[in-house]
Structure 1
Amino acid sequence: MTRTDTPPAWDERTQLATFLDYVRDTARAKCEGVSPEDAVKAPLPGSPLMTLCGLISHLRWVEFWWFQVVFLGGELVGPLADCTDDDPDPEMRLAVLTPLAQLLAEYEEQSARFRELVAAHDLDDEARKPVRDGLKVNLRWVILHVIEETARHNGHLDIVRELADGVTGD
């Protein structure tokens, strides 16, 4: 996999799409070569759900939430539909029951769908569902938010991977 944060063109859409793909590719790269046992290890005592599988699942469902549910107004399905105050992250809890390769494949498949969605909409198009306080964000904001969240969780993937099997990397 070749990761790059240098866009092939300098317009805003291409830059946003390039950075979104870059952080997605980085998340996948953090998981390359990890054993099935290490993929489900939760090495941080205060974060029992923070595994490589859990983080990849979370990233997949975060994108689903922002692009499919908030932006397109789609129905909330999957593990996020089961969120409660007592179980706020079922997508992370359940992820250890699914092989990492399958989670990565689902994440990539969904990323491809959302890549097409981004290409087909204007960056100023408004989300169908409001976020907080009735605020309606646009596609640009959704993309920036997903980039920010994915980049933040890439740091968690760095830590979890190093603690799980000692592997570090860019």
Structure 2
Amino acid sequence: MTTHEVPERTEPSGLAGEREMLEGWLEYHRQTLALKCSGLDDARLRQASAPPSALSLLGLVRHMAEVERHWFRRILAAEDAPPIYWTEENPDGDFHLTEKDTWDEAYATWQAEIARARELAAGRSLDDVAGGRHRSGKTFNLRWIHTHMIEEYARHNGHADLLRERIDGATGD
């Protein structure tokens, strides 16, 4: 794949209720990461930020697929969902790319994890306590998970801003 299209991005209403606001900002940040990757070919998406760091836009998308999977499938729903890209031997495998790793595969995987996350959160109260436990032993409610996911995306979208600017000079929200 040489390039992909620019996604739509919608900012949440400033008057939304709590749930709509949390879900709206999470979607906004998901869309922001996709936007930061738009228009680039696989070679540019795998370009590391500042060697020896392995951080790349493609790696960020793979990482966020893992994060979506972890918080919604493993923690919220207590599903047995093994890692996609990392292993015990390679805990940063989501960032360690090879020539065979592609945008098409990473994007499809990320979108599948987002779709599953939406399914698992639908119909639950924000106060619902997750069925799984974090490795720390702590439990979390859906409100905390949404808030954490917004924080996770916001942090990594900052990385994506810098990566994109280094790749082709593009800046912006």
TM range, smaller chain: 0.7 to 0.9
Is the helix fraction higher in 1 or 2? 1
Which one of the candidate residues 93, 96, 99 is aligned to 1:93? 96
Alpha-carbon contact 2:62-2:85 (below 8 Å) kept: no
Are residues 1:20 and 2:26 paired?
A: yes
Q: Cα RMSD (Å) of the superposition?
A: 2.0
AA aligned opposite 2:41: S
Q: 1:53 to 1:166 in 2, by over 3 A?
A: same
**Which stretches in structure 1 are left out of the alignment for 5+ residues?**
none
Which one of the candidate residues 71, 78, 82 is aligned to 2:83? 78
Are residues 1:2 and 2:5 paired?
A: no
SS of aligned partner of 1:30: helix
Runs of 4+ in 1 over 4 A off after TM superposition: none
Deviation at 1:46, TM superposition (A): 4.2
Deviation at 1:5, TM superposition (A): 2.2
Q: 1:158 to 1:15 in 2, by over 3 A?
A: same
Which has the higher mean CA deviation after the structures are superposed, 144-153 or 34-43?
34-43
Aligned length, in residue pairs: 167
Distance 2:13 2:88 in 1: 37
Match of 1:107 in 2: 110
% identical equivalent positions: 37
Distance 1:103 1:80 in 2: 10
Are residues 1:131 and 2:110 paired?
A: no
TM-score by length of 1: 0.87
